[in-house]
Every structure is written in C-alpha cells, then in structure tokens.
Amino acid sequence: MSSKAQKYSLHDILHPRSVAVVGASANETRGSGGWVARLLDFGFSGQIYPINPRATEIAGLKAYPNVREIPGPVDYAIFAVPASLVPPIMEDCAAKRVKAVHIFTAGFSETGSERGKALQMDIERIAREADIRVIGPNCMGVYYPAVGLTFSPGFPREPGPIAFVAQTGAGSSRLVGLASSRGLRFSKVISYGNAIDLDAPDFLDYLATDDETKFVASYIEGVKDGRYLLESVAKCAKAKPVVILKAGLTEGGSGAAASHTAALSGSAAVWDAFFKQTGAIAVESLEDIIDMAITFLNFSRPQGRRVGIVGRGGGLGVIATDVCERAGLRVPPYTVETRGQLEKLIPEAGASVRNPVETALGLRAAASFYEEGLKIVCADPGIDFILTHIGVDVYGGYGPAMHDQLLEAAEVLIRLSKTLTKPLAVVFYPGGRLETVAAVMEAQQKCLAGGLAVFSTIEAAAKAIGRFLRYHEFIEQVVL
C-alpha cells in the first residue's frame, strides 16, 4: 500500500487536538524541558495526556498508566520509551485508534542489529494494519510554532515562512538555532529519522501546497521510494524554492548514513540527475540552507550575473572579486562615466573605482558614500545587482561609536535598497572580536527584518546568489 493512499493526511497529523506523551517522566514540571513540558510551555492548546504507569499527575496534568485508559480520543502520540516497549505500546495505540505517532525512541534498524531490525518491522506491521501514520523512529519529531508543537523549549514561538524536513535531529536543532539567531522563522520543521512510514516525499508533497511555507529545505540521507521523491520534489519546486542537503554522497558518508538512519544513500551520479530533473537546489551544509533562505526571501531576481562590488579595502576587494567569479558571477569594470562619477565622491587617493569601488575610510564615511555611490553603481548599464561589504574589523579599534555607526549603516542600506532599481545584497563581516560579532549580529538582524539580503561573508553571498541565479535560469528553461 502506498503511503500516499492512507487516509489520515499530513495536514491532520500536524493539527492534533490531543497528544499523548508515552514515557513522560514522573518528575517533569513546567520548564523542565521534557516532552510534556515542551507542549505546555509552548502553548499547545489541545489535550495533553502524560502516560506513565507510576504517576498520577505530571506537570499538573492527570497522568494515565496506559494509552488505552485515556478517556477522550487521541490524535497523536509521542513515544519516549525504550525500543523494546514500542511495539506493545503501538498495539495500545491501535486499540485506541490513535491516528499518528512520533517515535522519538532510537535503537532500531540503524543499529544494524537483528533485534533492532525485528523491532522496527513489528512497528511497521502494526502501523500498517491499524492505519497509524508514523514519524520516525529515531527522530525529534515536529516543531510547528503556530500550533504549539516543538522538540526544543528554546525555539521561537513566532512562526515564519521556512519549512525544514530532515533525517537529522541534531541538525534540525542546529539549523533552527542558527536561523533564529539571525531572525529567520519557521512554518514547520520535521525531524523524521528512519522514516518507516512518512518519508521525505510525503512531507514535500504536502509542503508544495502549504500556504504557510514560502521556502522549503530538506536534509535527506535516503528514501524508500525514489520515483515518489522525484515527483514530489518536482511538484514542490514548481510551487516554491526547494533546497536539499543530500547527505551520504561520499563513500564514508554513505556508510555513516546507513549507520544513522539505515538509509540507502544512492550514488552521486543519480542525485546529480535528480537535481537536474527536479529543479531543487543542491547544497552542502546547514549554513548553505540559511543563506539560500535569506536569498529567496529577501533578494529579488537580477537581470543577470554581473555584480557591482562596493566596500573598503583594495585587497579585500580583489579577494571578493575572485570569490564572486569562482561562484559563477561576473565582476566587469564600471563604465568610464561611472568611474568618473565615483572618483568625485571619494576624497582619498588610491581608492579603486574600477569595480570593486572602495568607500572612504570609516563606517560613517561608508554610509555617506552609499547615499550617492550606490545610485551611481546602480545606474551603470553593465551591472545587474550590487553587493556591498562592510568589515568593522578593518577600521581598527572598537567602541560604542562603531556599534551605533554600524546600525546607522544598516539603516541607510535598508532605506536605499527600497529606492534602487537593481537588487542589493549586503555582507556584514563579523571579524574576530566578540564586541564586533555582537554588533554585526545586531546589524544583520536589522537588515533581515528590513527586508535586505544580508550575509556574513562574501563567500556565502556569492555562493547563494550564484545558486539563486541558476535556479531561476532552470525554472525559466522548464517553463519555456
């Protein structure tokens, strides 16, 4: 039976009216970070049923010895019990007509042991016979801030446009943490581990038409049904950008994936063809995913790949140019007219105006250069978009003035980006000192909130924009 045909939809699974927590710790309290506390503290509005045979109350809620004893209906159960207990409790869930379960528990096929494999087959059989949808086992489950589901108490409550579905729990935590600290927010994150039932294609098919999601990212080690994945990714990529971190493509990585989620990784050549056919964007790291999200959410499509670079430091400009060209962008010289206009703006001798153009020394001077300089660069007919880079570290000592000036520069860039006729991307480079890292994080968050595509390095910006351009070229070819 194809998982596509089953009756309980992903939309229903992700909107449970009641959740049983099987294996709730007897000494859980609000704020303790356990599975019951996570739901309570995150504002889940449905019924929560802690299950523990040795407790009558957990975190202020009535506890039940067994799923079967719960009075009302149970839509969703979270399993946090030893692996050997999962099959009998799955039988309880079948009897109780639980619609979906998230099996946090690990210790199944990924161990490579006969016992683990047998246990996993038991769960699969019970789920199939009782029409129970399964997320996992061996995974963190669902973070869906709008409905109050989370697998970490520290995640933001505020929802956003990014979805992430992944065969990695630690990776999902890292991604949400990194993205959140930049100001990005998620529609839903699903860590689905061994994927004995619900698998990447189910999630991607669902996300294709999910109005809460504008950008989809996925970490995949392997899938059961390659054809279904191809179809669902192609469908999703037609509707919105899809970024996939395919793990286990090297020899060692493939072995590690088998040991992690019992996944069959597939060959690099097959996956290469997959990306070419579907229009999904291949990336190599969690940081890449964040940079692609920023690009798709905050950067408009330029007419072409010719970038005008603006930033202090001649040698840093040469490095930036090499980095951009290696990422598939072009850094052509500005026209003679543009150069003449730029020269008038720059008091210092020796500052290059060829492309990159150097701003004057100092953050305030840079910000004041932007006011006229970005318009001049923008008007150059040989340029499709602008990339500015600010490195506070090249301006020497750090103080409160620099902090304020950095935020002022961010404000200027946000304001100008709305008047320029070509897209603007910004790099705020953190440098090595904690004070500059703190100030830059603040400036970056301000830029992101202000709708500006902002990155930490030229490398990240160039790589993301290069991929963004190739994606649009692909989509255009397919449509034509």
Q: Which of residues 297-356 bind a second copy (CB under 8 A)?
A: 312-319, 321-326, 330-333, 348-356
Rule CB under 8 A: choose which of 106, 208, 229, 293 binds a second copy.
106
Rule CB under 8 A: choose which of 166, 207, 346, 453 binds a second copy.
166
Does 121 bind a second copy (CB under 8 A)? Our answer is: no
Give the Å distances, CA to CA, from 298 to 287, 293, 417, 453, 457.
16, 8, 11, 5, 17
| Range 52-81, binding a second copy (CB under 8 A) | none
Rule CB under 8 A: choose which of 87, 107, 226, 362 binds a second copy.
107
> How many residues lie near a second copy (CB under 8 A)?
88
Token pair listed for 179: 């993205």
| Range 371-390, binding a second copy (CB under 8 A) | none
Does 179 bind a second copy (CB under 8 A)? Our answer is: yes
State how far the Cα of 274 lies from the Cα of 264, in Å rounded to an integer.
15
Does 33 bind a second copy (CB under 8 A)? Our answer is: yes
3-state secondary structure string, 289-322? HHHHHHHHHHCCCCCCCEEEEEECCHHHHHHHHH
State how far the Cα of 471 lies from the Cα of 236, in Å rounded to an integer.
14
Does 108 bind a second copy (CB under 8 A)? Our answer is: yes
Q: What are phi and psi of 297, to 5 degrees?
A: -80, -30
> Left if phi > 0, otherwise alpha if psi is -120 to 50, otherwise beta: which for 137?
beta
Of 431 and 450, CB closest to a second copy: 431
Nearest approach in angstroms of CB 172 to a second copy is 8
| Range 190-219, binding a second copy (CB under 8 A) | 219
Q: Whose CA is closest to 97, among 61, 59, 58, 126?
A: 126
Does 267 bind a second copy (CB under 8 A)? Our answer is: no
| Range 231-260, binding a second copy (CB under 8 A) | 245, 247-253, 255-260
Of 184 and 233, CB closest to a second copy: 184
Asked if residues 265 and 253 have their Cβ atoms less than 8 Å apart, the reply is yes
Nearest approach in angstroms of CB 325 to a second copy is 4
Nearest approach in angstroms of CB 419 to a second copy is 27
Long-range contacts of 411-415 (CB under 8 A, 24+ apart): 411/446, 411/450, 412/367, 412/370, 412/371, 413/370, 413/388, 413/447, 413/452, 414/446, 414/447, 414/450, 414/451, 414/452
Nearest approach in angstroms of CB 131 to a second copy is 26
Nearest approach in angstroms of CB 209 to a second copy is 27
Of 66 and 180, CB closest to a second copy: 180
Beta-carbon count within 10 A of 251 CB? 9
Rule CB under 8 A: choose which of 156, 161, 177, 450 binds a second copy.
177
Does 32 bind a second copy (CB under 8 A)? Our answer is: no
Of 374 and 439, CB closest to a second copy: 439
Nearest approach in angstroms of CB 389 to a second copy is 11
Asked if residues 390 and 413 have their Cβ atoms less than 8 Å apart, the reply is no
Half-sphere exposure of 441 (CA within 13 A, CB side): 14
Q: What are phi and psi of 217, to 5 degrees?
A: -130, 150
Torsion over CA: 340, 341, 342, 347 (sign): positive
Of 270 and 394, CB closest to a second copy: 394
Q: What are phi and psi of 170, to 5 degrees?
A: -60, -40
Nearest approach in angstroms of CB 336 to a second copy is 11
> What is the side-by-side strand order in the sheet with 242-246?
141-143, 186-191, 162-166, 215-220, 242-246, 281-283
Of 207 and 289, CB closest to a second copy: 289
Does 282 bind a second copy (CB under 8 A)? Our answer is: no
Asked, as a colleague might, if the bond just before 302 is cis with ω within 30 of 0, I would say no
Nearest approach in angstroms of CB 115 to a second copy is 11
Nearest approach in angstroms of CB 20 to a second copy is 21
Rule CB under 8 A: choose which of 6, 47, 152, 335 binds a second copy.
152
Token pair listed for 357: 């153009």
Torsion over CA: 229, 224, 100, 145 (sign): negative
Nearest approach in angstroms of CB 319 to a second copy is 6
